[in-house]
Structure 1
Amino acid sequence: MATAKKTAPKKTAAKKTAPKKATAVAKPARAAPKESPMKGSTIDAYVGALETWQQEIARPFAALIAKVAPNSSAYIKWGHPVWDHGGPFALLKPAKAHVTLGFWRGGQMKDAEGLLEGDGDGMRYVKIKSGQQLPSSLAELVREAVALNTQHGDPLKR
């Protein structure tokens, strides 16, 4: 007598399902990061877009650099005006309560009147507030910044 071969029921592979995701909670809308409206702009256009009191600092600073360092170039980089002579030597950066005038090699400058703020041998700056005039010794700082770049080269290259 032949016996029927009993076969075990076929196991079906259990479908792997991803765990249920929690229902998404709507996040408040985030403002898209602002691209600088001055990207690709000229120094004059950049300064023209500043608050009036900031313009009263920026224009004389730009004019001072044009007079003291006529062979320098100016452009917008890192979101603000930068002046270059063999590498960047000065910058202008507006803030809510002041305008920063920075010097890449400020830590190496003599700064006889003690105008420059900051630590280290790199960037130092002068903060000018609304209603303040540019210090008369700023011209000497610009001259020295250009001379240091001429002597040592681009401060961004080590």
Structure 2
Amino acid sequence: MTEEKNGTESPSVLIDRRISELADWRGETLAKVRAVIRETDPDIVEEWKWRGVPVWEHGGIICTGETYKAVVKLTFAKGAALEDPEGLFNASLEGNTRRAIDLREGDAISEEALKDLVRAAIALNRASRSAKKR
């Protein structure tokens, strides 16, 4: 489906377009991490927020995928509360809430470790929702 009911393009189409527009290693990197995130759970929803930031959600925000000149940044909304045994988080380490993974040209990322972080973020979102209902 390429259009929403209100006639605007779907977030997935907008993300596809962003990847195409980048036309360099950043687009390739964003496409790769996007595929890994989407493979992790079929119920993950793609959004397009804050004037052009890809966002992946499942019971709340999992992470965002921002692109800058030198990095593709995956920011996990509740990353500080997630276990990161593989040490993927390498940015935004000083805060109490978010954590990020900065990927530079040529960087590789463990797909399984990324999937583990996504699964942990989903579980945390579910737990947060359950706690709010009590």
Note the residue ranges of structure 2 that are not aligned, 5 or more in a row: 1-8, 130-134
Percent of paired sites with the same residue: 33
Unpaired runs of 5+ residues, structure 1, are 1-37, 154-158
Task: Give 1:121's aligned residue.
Answer: 96
Counterpart CA distance in 2 for 1:121 and 1:72 is 25
Instruction: Name the residue aligned to 1:16.
Output: none
List aligned pairs for 1:47-86, cutoff 5 A. 47-78=19-50, 79-86=52-59
Which residue is equivalent to 1:110?
Answer: 83
One-letter amino acid of the structure 1 residue matched with residue 70 of structure 2 = A
| Structure 1 residue 150, shift from structure 2 partner | 1.1
- State the partner residue of 1:42: 14
Contact 1:57 1:133 in 2 (8 A): no
Name the residue aligned to 1:101.
74
Offset of 1:139 from its aligned partner? 1.3
Structure 2 length-normalised TM: 0.78
Task: Tell me whether 75-84 or 116-125 shows the greater mean CA deviation.
Answer: 116-125
- CA distance in structure 1 between the partners assigned to 2:14 and 2:125 by the alignment: 23
Partner Cα distance (1:77, 1:135) in 2: 27
RMSD of Structure 2 on Structure 1 (CA) = 1.9
Question: What is the Cα deviation at residue 86 of structure 1?
Answer: 1.3
Residue 135 of structure 1 deviates from its aligned partner by 2.5
Greater Rg by CA: 1
Deviations 1:15-69 (A, max 9, x none): xxxxxxxxxxxxxxxxxxxxxxx9x762111211114100111111111111102
Aligned counterparts of 1:151 and 1:69: Cα–Cα separation in 2: 17
How far does the alpha carbon of each residue in 1:60-119 deviate from its partner, in whole angstroms, 9 at most, with x for none?
A: 111111110210110210121000111111110011111101100100001012221322
The answer for the alignment partner of 2:110 in structure 1 is 135
TM-score normalised according to structure 1 size = 0.67
CA–CA distance in structure 1, aligned partners of residues 85 and 72 of structure 2? 21
- Deviating beyond 3 angstroms after TM superposition, the runs of 4 or more aligned structure 1 residues are none
